[in-house]
Amino acid sequence: MNEEDPKPGVVIDVTPDDDQEPARQAADEPAEQPPATQPKKSRSGTLPLVLALLALVAVGVAAVFGYRVWTDLNNDLAAMNARIGDAASAQKKLQSSLNTATSALKSQEDKLSDQKDVLAQQRRAVDEARDAFIQQEQRLVDENLRLQEREAELRAAVADVHRRVGRSGTQWIIAETEYLMRIANHRLILARDTETARVALELADQRLRDTKDPGWAGVRAQVARDIAKLSAFESPDSAGLAARLSAMVEQIPQLKIARATIGPERTLPERVAGEPAERSWNTLLDDLWSGFRDSVRIRERDEPVQAMLAPESQFFLYENLKLHLEAARLGVARNDQAFVHENLGTASEWLATYFEQDDGTTAAIREGIDAILEVDINPEMPDISQSLRALQVRKKLLDDVTPGGSPIPAEGGVETK
């Protein structure tokens, strides 16, 4: 802003007075010798001009100062507007955050209310469970009292039975001994289980020892002899034999077949092909017979085929050999000596007939088969029935000596009279 653009609202009048115009014109004219009173008049005409200039300068300074003040006010107003806008945006954000917090608080209040309901339900359930537990505890206490009363009654009944039956304890021990001896005989005869039979006889001997009756010494001596028989008996290693047969089955795919045919083939005479020009209706029959001989192959074998398989079906030959070895393993598990020998004999014969003898796998399988054939899979089991007979004889003697005694429970818990 310059001096020509004063501040609005301020009017500066710079028009000279009419009295000062002649003085200015006189100042512009050449100076003449004034009279003695002229200097005083020019002094009075210059003073208003100076005052006007000073007023003009003051007005300009005021205008500049006013412009600066107006500019500062505008800047302050713009800054204030900006701060107001920032404050408004901050207020909006604060209002949004407040709304979010309010909604979150409301959601928390809802969740807290739900949790309070769940807690109340759980508290009611706990109270109900506590009541039920108290009732159950009371029932258990009552049942315990009834059981104690029942136990006391049973103890009294058992004591009464012991008073009435003097020799019942010994008779029960003898009955248990007889039962153990029967178990030993059954396990040995039916399952060929010598270990279980030996343990059963040892328990029977302990029961006889608990009687503290020297009259059972003969029976205990027979039991000791039977235990010695079972200890000296060596049962075949069925698990080891089965494992060896399984190893042989795994080696069968490595065998090499000696020849691809069952018997020697008959060599046919070489056929001389005739010239095409020689063929005619007269040679048609000869051509048909020659073609038939070429399409049919004749083999001769003096002995019957035991494998009953075609030479091209090598897979079936291997599988049948595996089946014989598996059948032998089943026979080992069943202690069937004849069945094992039959299948192993067939397998050994097939190895000698259809497979190469120089092969190490063939020789190893044949040696394994021969070793298993030498094992007695079903040896004769020792006789341990003499202990049971001796016990029964001794018991019958006691019954004859003291008739009318208490009945001895037989096997299975049934009393015999």
pLDDT in tens, the chain (417 residues): 444 444 444 444 444 445 444 444 444 444 444 444 444 445 567 888 888 888 889 998 999 998 999 999 989 899 999 989 899 889 999 898 899 998 899 988 889 888 899 999 999 999 999 899 899 889 999 999 999 999 899 888 877 765 665 455 678 888 889 999 999 999 888 888 888 888 999 999 998 988 888 888 889 999 999 998 888 887 777 788 888 888 888 888 888 887 544 444 444 445 445 455 455 556 666 666 666 566 555 555 555 444 444 555 678 888 888 888 888 888 888 878 888 888 888 888 888 888 887 778 888 888 888 888 888 777 778 888 888 898 888 888 877 765 544 444 433 333 333
Determine the Cα–Cα distance for residues 166 and 172; give it in Å rounded to an integer.
Answer: 12
In a domain, 340, yes or no: yes
In a domain, 188, yes or no: yes
In a domain, 144, yes or no: yes
* Contact between residue 86 and residue 78 where contact means Cβ atoms under 8 Å apart: no
Confidence at residue 44, expressed as pLDDT on a 0 to 100 scale: 63
Same domain, 94 and 198: no
Q: How far is CA 41 from CA 16, 17, 37, 50, in A?
A: 17, 16, 7, 15
Q: What number of CA atoms fall less than 13 Å from residue 87's CA on the CB side?
A: 6
Q: The pTM is what?
A: 0.40
Same domain, 216 and 253: no
Confidence at residue 299, expressed as pLDDT on a 0 to 100 scale: 55
Determine the Cα–Cα distance for residues 305 and 299; give it in Å rounded to an integer.
Answer: 13
Q: Where in the sequence is the domain holding 220, given as residue range(s)?
A: 168-235+382-401
Same domain, 249 and 374: yes
Confidence at residue 9, expressed as pLDDT on a 0 to 100 scale: 47
**H or E element, residue 408:** none
3-state secondary structure 358-394: CCHHHHHHHHHHHHHHCCCCCCCCCCCHHHHHHHHHH
In a domain, 364, yes or no: yes
Same domain, 195 and 106: no
Confidence at residue 281, expressed as pLDDT on a 0 to 100 scale: 59
Confidence at residue 12, expressed as pLDDT on a 0 to 100 scale: 46
Greatest Cα pair distance in the chain: 200
Confidence at residue 134, expressed as pLDDT on a 0 to 100 scale: 92
Same domain, 362 and 249: yes
In a domain, 76, yes or no: yes
Determine the Cα–Cα distance for residues 354 and 255; give it in Å rounded to an integer.
Answer: 10
* Contact between residue 255 and residue 362 where contact means Cβ atoms under 8 Å apart: yes
Report the number of distinct structural domains present in the chain.
3
Same domain, 148 and 190: no
Confidence at residue 29, expressed as pLDDT on a 0 to 100 scale: 46
Q: Where among 118, 139, 159 does a domain terminate? A: 159
In a domain, 298, yes or no: no
